[in-house]
Amino acid sequence: MKKLKLDELNRVDLQGYKEQEKLPLVVVLDNVRSMHNVGSIFRTADGFSLSKIILCGITAVPPHREIEKTALGATLSVDWAYSESTLEALTELRSNGYQIVAVEQASGSIMLNNYMPAISGKYALIFGNEVNGVSDEVMQVVDECIEIPQFGTKHSFNIVVSAGIVLWDFFAKLKLN
């Protein structure tokens, strides 16, 4: 077995990426404070060909050196927008047919392994602040809440790890089945 070189990966170029079909999934970042986390989520969104990222509240926006450090150019491939208010962004997404889903530990949450997105559905997944999670006001307007099962002593995963787990799960359920 040998590792593949970059030119052997057969990745699309930027124009090809812009034109290819996107997963009907928007990531909403609710007051995420770390620019490295923002950049990493851009890179993950690129990897799964998501429709868009919406950066809300205090979440930093490109271009910024600290975002690019982890995004590695994904801020150019992934469509994104900024909204001062997460609630306003969610209202617009809902009016465009998106199911609003928080990724949070909450009463009534559905464990990720038990959650089955509809193949024809459009989803907005909300990831919250690194310390406080998805804001209480946003939790009041979500359609559903999913939670990643955990079995250790820590209370949560890092937001980027959470995003990677959830986005892979949605990608696998929507595209690979």
Spatial contact of 47 and 172, defined as CB atoms under 8 Å apart: no
Return the number of other C-beta atoms located less than 10 Å from residue 42's C-beta. 28
Mean pLDDT taken over the chain: 97
State mean pLDDT over 116-132. 97
What is the distance between the alpha carbons of residues 32 and 163, in angstroms, rounded to a whole number?
A: 12
CATH architecture designation of domain 20-148+155-175: 3-Layer(aba) Sandwich (3.40)
By percentage, how much of the chain surpasses pLDDT 90? 99
* pTM, rounded to two decimals: 0.97
Q: Is the pLDDT of residue 113 over 80?
A: yes
What does the pLDDT look like over 15-25, one tens digit per residue?
999 999 999 99
Q: Are 63 and 35 in contact (CB under 8 A)?
A: no
Domain residue ranges in the chain: 20-148+155-175
pLDDT, tens only, 127-161: 999 999 999 999 999 999 999 999 999 999 999 99
Task: Count other Cβ atoms within 10 Å, centred on residue 70.
Answer: 19
Strand partners, 146: 103, 110
pLDDT, tens digit (0-9, with 9 covering 90-100), for 69-105: 999 999 999 999 999 999 999 999 999 999 999 999 9
Q: Give the three-class secondary structure for 143.
A: coil
Model pLDDT, residue 5: 95
Sign of CA dihedral 99, 103, 109, 111: positive
Check pLDDT > 90 for residue 177: no
